[in-house]
Amino acid sequence: MRHWIALLAALLPLQVLALSGEEVMKKSQAAFLYAGKDFKARVLMKLINKDGQERLRELAMLRRNSGEAGGEQKFFMYFFQPADVKDMTFMTFKYPAKDDDRWLFVPALNMVKRIAAQDKRSSFVGSDFTYEDVSGRDLGDDSHVIEREDKVGARDCYVVKSTPKAGDADFGHKLTWVDKANFLPLKEEQYDRRGARYKLFTADEVADVKGFPTVTRRTMKNLQSGHRSEVTYVKSDYDLGIDDSLFTERFLRQPPRKWID
Amino acid sequence: MKKTSLVELSIRHPRWVLALAGVLTLLFLTQFPGIRTDTNPKHMLPETSDVRVWNDRVDRTFGLYEDTIVVGVENDAGVLNRETLGRIVRITDAILRLEGVAARDVSGFTTITNVSAEGGTLTVGPLMPAAPRQAAEVETLRRALFGNPLFVNRIVSADGKTSAVYVPLEKGANGAEIASRIRDIVAKEKGPERYYIAGDPVARDTFGAEMFKLMAIFSPIAGMIMFAAIQFMFRNLALSAAMMGVSMVAIIWSMGLLIGAGFPVHIMSSMAPVFLMAIATDSIHIFNEFYFRYQERGDRLAAIRETMAAVSRPVRYTALATAAGFAVLLFMNIVPVKVFGALIAFGTVVLRLLSFSFIPAVLTFVREDRLARAAASESVEADRTARILGRLGAFGAARPGPVVAAALVLLAIAVWGTSKINVNNNLVAWFKASSDIRVADTAMNRALGGTSLGYLVVQSEEADFMKRPEAVRWLQDLQRHLEGLPAVGKTFSVADYVKRINRVLHDDEAKHDVVPDTSEAIGQYLFLFSMSAKPSDLDNVVTPDYRAANLWIQLKTWDAAAMRQVIAAAADYQKASPLSVTVKPAGIAYFNLVWNDEVLGDMVRGFAIALFVVFAILALNFRSLKWAVVGYMPLLFTILLIYGVVGFAGKDFDMPLSVLSTLSLGMAVDFAIHFVGRFRQRLSETGGGLIEALQWTAARPGKGIVRNAVLFAAAFSVMLFAPLTPYVAVGAFIVAMMLLSALFTLLLLPALVMLGRRWLFQGG
C-alpha cells in the first residue's frame, strides 16, 4: 500500500507536466503542416475506386509560411497530370479562422478564375482528402482531449479525440494518433455523426528531410464507399527561399520553371 | 385397384390411419421453427442472373446505388421560405443519421453540389449548407436553383412547390424500414408541408412484407369461410372438420418439407396455403357422392366403398391435372417459381393420398343418425339444387345448337378482347390508388422528373473518348431525344456538368451553355469541377479513364414498358447519328423490365406447356382424343373469356396475372374431368339415353361441381378485399374461373356432346 502511494506521488507531478490535448494537436499541426519556412514537393496522387480503377493526379506543390505555426500560409500548385490539365495552376492563401482565397488558371480559356472556398470540408481535387485534411483544420473549431496512449507500429502515440464545438460539422468526432517523439499524426479515424467510422488516414511512410520528419506517403480511405486516395511526395525539400512574389496571378499564368521541375 | 385397397385399409383401421397422419404431421411440424423468409420480390432473379451481375457492375463502376428512396416536401405556398427550408435542413440532417442510408451521397438542397458564379468568383460546393436566416438568402437560393438546369425537376419542381431529397440505400438495407423511419422524422415537423416517401425500394419491400402479413391473415380467414360453407352444405361437423383437417395436413406437410429442405419462404410460396386449401375442395366430390349413395343405401361402409369406387378415377385424374399444371413450373428458369410449383404439386399429391385414406377413415366415425338426417334430402329428385342443375344440363342437351352458337359468339367477342391486352408490369401499381405509396409516387411524378431511375451506359473502346466534344454533344443530343418521350421526366449526364461549367466560367452567359470545342477545355472543366465537388459527382457519370459515360434517366412511371421505350429510342437515335460506342441499359428501371420479361416469358412458356399437358392428361383419362377435345372446351372458353374481360377492362397483363394463368389450367379442367368421367360411367352402367345420362350427370356429380366451385370461389373471394391489387386480381380471377368453368361444364358440355354425338360415339 505504501508503495502504491509512493508511486502515485511520483507520478502526480508528471501528470501535471503532461501535455493537454490542445497542446498535442498544436504541436502536431506545426510538425505536420508548418515544418520549415517553405516546402516543395512533387505530389503523386492516386484516386482509387472500389472497383480498383484509378484516376491519377500529379502536381508540383510549393508552400510558404508567412509567420508562426498556425498562421497564414500560401500554396502554389502546378498540375502535370491528367495530361489535358497540364499547365493548370492553383493557388491558395490560407488564413487562420477565415475562409481561404483560391485562384485557378484555366489554360484552355487562358483565364484566371477566383474560386470560392465556402466549404473546407469539400474534396481536394476529387480525392478523399478534404481541403482541411490537406491544409489543416482550425484547432479552435474542436475541443481536444487525450483519450489514451497507444502504439502505431513501434511508435508511441497520444490518441487525441477531437470533437467539433459547433453542432453543424459534417463529422461527429475524430481520433488522431500523434507520434510522441515527432508529433506527426500517424493515423486518424474520422467518425460520422452516427458514430460510425467512415474515414481512415494513415501515414504510410515517414522520412527525414533536412532534419524535418516528413510524411512522404499517406492514404485516406473512405470506409463506407470503399474509395481511397494514395498520396506520395517525391523530391520533398525545405527552406529553399521561395519568394512571396511567386504567389501572384502573373506566376499562375507563367509558372516559374525553376520551382516546378 | 391400389387405391381401393388403400380405402379398404383405411376403413378397416381408421384409428391407425388417423394416428399415422397425426404423427407424420407432427414430424413435418418440427421443421417449422427453422423457417426463413425472403420478402424481396427482386430475388425472383438469382444474384447470378445476367441483369443483376450487369447492374452490380454498373453500380460499382459508377459508384451508384441499387436502391434510392425519394422524399418529397410539398408546400402549396412554395418551399422557398425560411420555415420550410429549415424543415428540409432538419429532415435531411436526421435522414443522414439513419442506419442503412448512404449518407455521403444523399442529394438534396443541403448536400447537392452547386457550380455557380457570383461576382466573378466560381463557387463549387453544397447548394444550401445551412438554412437561410434572411429573406435575401432565400432569394439567392431561388436564383441558384432556377438558374441551374441540373436542379429544376430534380430537387425542385418548376413551380417551386415541391422539393425532393434522394436517399440512396446501402446494399441490403430494407427500404420499407428506412421509409418508416423517415416517416417518423417528418411526423415531428409541424407545418403546412406535405411529405411523400416514394421509390422502388419502398414499394418493393413494403409489398414483400405486406404480402406475408396478408397471407397470415387471409389463410385463416379463407379457411374459416370454407369451413362455414362446408358446414352449410353438409350440416355435419365431423365432415367439415375432416375436410379442413385434410387441407391443414397437406399444408403442414408441404410447408414442413419446404422449410426442412432449406428453402426460404418466398412471396410466391407464401401463397401456397391458400392454394392448397382451395385444391383440397376437390374432396367435396367424395362427400357429395357419399351423401347420395348413403341416402340410397343407408349402409355407411358400403356407401364409402361405392363412393370411392365411383369417384376414384375422376378424383385421381383431377389431382393429376392439378399437380401437372403446377409441376410444369419446374421447367421455368425462376427458382422461387420452380419451388412454388414443386410445393403445390407435392401438396396436391398429399391431398389425394389423404382423400383415399384420411377421408374414408373419418367417414367411418360419423354418427349414423346425424348422417341420415343430413343426407335425407340428398337425392336427384328431392334436392332443389340438383333439380335445377339437371334442368340446366338438359337445356344444353335439348338445344345444343343455340347454346353452342351463343358460346361461340361470346368466344369471338372474348378473342377480340384478348387482342386488346396490354403486357406491362408496374410494381407501384400493385398498391391501390389510395395507398400512401401510390399517392406519394403520383404526387412526386407529377411535380418532379420521376421516381423511377434507369441508366444508359455509353461505352467506347478508347480512353478519354468521353472528353471529345463530339462524344459529349452526342450524349447531350441523346438526352434531348429521350426527353421527347412522355415517360421521361429528366435526364442528366456529364454533358450537363461540362455545359454548366462553360457557362459559369463565362460570367453565367446563356450563350455559353454549350459544349466547348476542344477536348482540352472539356478535360480542364471537369478537372476544375472535380477539384471541389464530391468524388461521387463525377464518378456517377463518367469512368476515371473517360471510356464510358453514364446517362441518368428519371422516369415518371414504374411501367416496365417505359424503359423499353427508352431503349428503343436510344437505338433509333444511334441509328440516325452513328458514333463508335455501345449503349447498354442498366438501373432499377431496367431491372424491372428484365424481371417482368423473364417472369412473363417463363409464365407464357409454362402456360403453353400446361395447355399441352392438360390435354394429354384428358386424353389419357378418357382414353380418347375425341373426348379429350370435348373435355377441353370448358377450360378453353373459361380462359379466353377471362382474358377477353382483362383486355376490355384495360387491366395490364402483368406478372401476377401471368403466374395465375399457368396455375389456373390445372384447376379449371377439373370439372370437365368429373363430368365426362361420371357421364360415361353412367352411360355404360345404364346403357340408356344420352339426354337422361347428361341430365343425371349435371344433377348429381354436377352438384359436387357446383359445391366445389362455390367453396373454391368462397375461399379466394377473401382476396377481393386485399389492399394489394395483385391479390384482388388473383381473387377475381379464381372466383371467375371457378364459376365460369362450372357453368361451361354443366351447360356447354351437354350441348357439345349432343352436337358431336355421331362423331363421339362412332363405332361404339
A119:B464 CB<8 A: no
Q: What is the largest CA-CA distance in chain B?
A: 105
d(CA B452, CA B108): 17
d(CA A163, CA A180): 21
Closest CA relative to residue A26, chosen from A134, A135, A132, A144:
A144
A–B interface: beta-carbon pairs under 8 A: 128
| pLDDT tens for each residue of B407-433 | 999 999 999 988 888 877 787 888 888
d(CA B362, CA B762): 43
A123:B63 CB<8 A: no
Cell 341416402 belongs to which residue? B295
Contact list, A134 vs chain B (CB under 8 Å): none
d(CA B601, CA B589): 18
Q: What are B511's three cell numbers? A: 450563350
Highest-scoring range by mean pLDDT, B169-173, B253-257, B303-307, B690-694: B253-257
Q: What is the largest CA-CA distance in chain A?
A: 79
To probe the interface with B, which of A45, A84, A104 has the most B CB atoms within 10 Å?
A84
CATH 2.60.40.10 fits A35-255, yes or no: no
Q: What are B382's three cell numbers? A: 328431392
Tell the burial category of A8 from Cβ atoms under 10 Å away from its Cβ (0-12, 13-18, 19+): exposed
CA distances from B2 to A195, B7, B309, B323, B350 (A): 70, 9, 11, 19, 16
CA distances from B413 to B406, B409, B645, B648 (A): 11, 6, 9, 10
Within 10 A of A86 (CB to CB), how many other CB atoms are there? Answer: 15
Point out the residue among B99, B538, B544 whose CB comes nearest to the CB of A53: B544
Cell 491558395 belongs to which residue? A92
| pLDDT tens for each residue of B30-72 | 888 888 877 777 777 777 888 888 888 888 888 888 888 999 9
A113:B60 CB<8 A: no
pLDDT at B763 exceeding the cut of 70: no
Nearest-CA distance A180 → chain B (Å): 33
CA distances from A71 to A34, A116, A183, B287 (A): 9, 20, 18, 97
Nearest residue in A to B123, CA atom: A116
Share of chain B above pLDDT 70, in %: 98
Contact B751, B403 (CB under 8 A): yes
Nearest-CA distance A183 → chain B (Å): 29
Residue ranges of domains in chain A: 35-255
Closest CA relative to residue A187, chosen from A197, A176, A195, A198:
A176
Could you tell me which residues are beta bridge partners of residue B37? B265
Any CB–CB contact under 8 A between B464 and chain A? yes
A104:B122 CB<8 A: yes
CA distances from B102 to B66, B67, B170, B488 (A): 11, 10, 5, 26
Contact B526, B497 (CB under 8 A): yes
Could you tell me which residues are beta bridge partners of residue B114? B125
CA distances from B554 to B217, B324, B458 (A): 37, 43, 17
| pLDDT tens for each residue of A171-189 | 888 999 998 888 899 999 9
Any CB–CB contact under 8 A between B5 and chain A? no
Write out residues 730-749 of B within 8 Å (CB-CB) of A.
Answer: none
- For chain A, the first-to-last Cα distance in angstroms comes to 66
At B5 the pLDDT is 74
pLDDT at B324 exceeding the cut of 60: yes
Nearest residue in A to B506, CA atom: A109
Point out the residue among B98, B530, B539 whose CB comes nearest to the CB of A125: B530
Domains of chain B from N-terminus onward: 1-30+210-376 (1.20.1640.10), 62-204 (3.30.70.1320), 438-593 (no CATH)
Query: What phi and psi, each to the nearest 5 degrees, are found at residue B24?
Result: -60, -40
At B3 the pLDDT is 46
d(CA B493, CA B121): 25
Write out residues 160-199 of B within 8 Å (CB-CB) of A.
Answer: 170
B544:A108 CB<8 A: no
For residue B120, give the amino acid letter: G
For residue B222, give the amino acid letter: A
Share of chain B above pLDDT 90, in %: 15
Contacts of B201 by beta carbon, 8 Å cutoff, 6+ apart: B67, B68, B69, B169, B173, B175, B176, B178, B179
d(CA B739, CA B716): 12
Point out the residue among B96, B103, B121 whose CB comes nearest to the CB of A116: B121
Tell the burial category of A132 from Cβ atoms under 10 Å away from its Cβ (0-12, 13-18, 19+): middle
Question: What mean pLDDT is predicted for residues B666-689?
Answer: 84
Q: What are A206's three cell numbers? A: 515517414
Any CB–CB contact under 8 A between B534 and chain A? yes
With residue B76 as reference, give the H or E element that holds it: none
Closest CA relative to residue B676, chosen from B733, B553, B760:
B760
Point out the residue among B61, B104, B122 whose CB comes nearest to the CB of A116: B122
Contact list, A198 vs chain B (CB under 8 Å): 104
At B364 the pLDDT is 83
Per DSSP bridges, beta strands B548-555 and B488-492 are antiparallel
Contact A82, A57 (CB under 8 A): yes
At A117 the pLDDT is 64
At B201 the pLDDT is 82
Contact B344, B276 (CB under 8 A): yes
At B2 the pLDDT is 47
At A221 the pLDDT is 92
B527:A122 CB<8 A: no
pLDDT at B4 exceeding the cut of 60: no
B523:A84 CB<8 A: yes
Tell the burial category of A245 from Cβ atoms under 10 Å away from its Cβ (0-12, 13-18, 19+): exposed
Point out the residue among B125, B533, B535 whose CB comes nearest to the CB of A227: B535
Per DSSP bridges, beta strands B265-266 and B488-492 are unpaired
Q: What are B265's three cell numbers? A: 419462404
Average pLDDT value for chain B? 85
Any CB–CB contact under 8 A between A250 and chain B? no
Within 10 A of B273 (CB to CB), how many other CB atoms are there? Answer: 24
pLDDT at B533 exceeding the cut of 80: no
At A13 the pLDDT is 46
At B1 the pLDDT is 43
Cell 455523426 belongs to which residue? A193
Within 10 A of A97 (CB to CB), how many other CB atoms are there? Answer: 9
Closest CA relative to residue A92, chosen from A132, A143, A44:
A132
Question: What mean pLDDT is predicted for residues B228-233?
Answer: 86
> What's A236-261 look like in SS3?
EEECCCCCHHHCCHHHHHCCCHHHCC
Contact list, A53 vs chain B (CB under 8 Å): 61, 543-545
pLDDT at B90 exceeding the cut of 60: yes
Residues of chain A with pLDDT under 70: 1-17, 117-120, 167-169
At B452 the pLDDT is 87
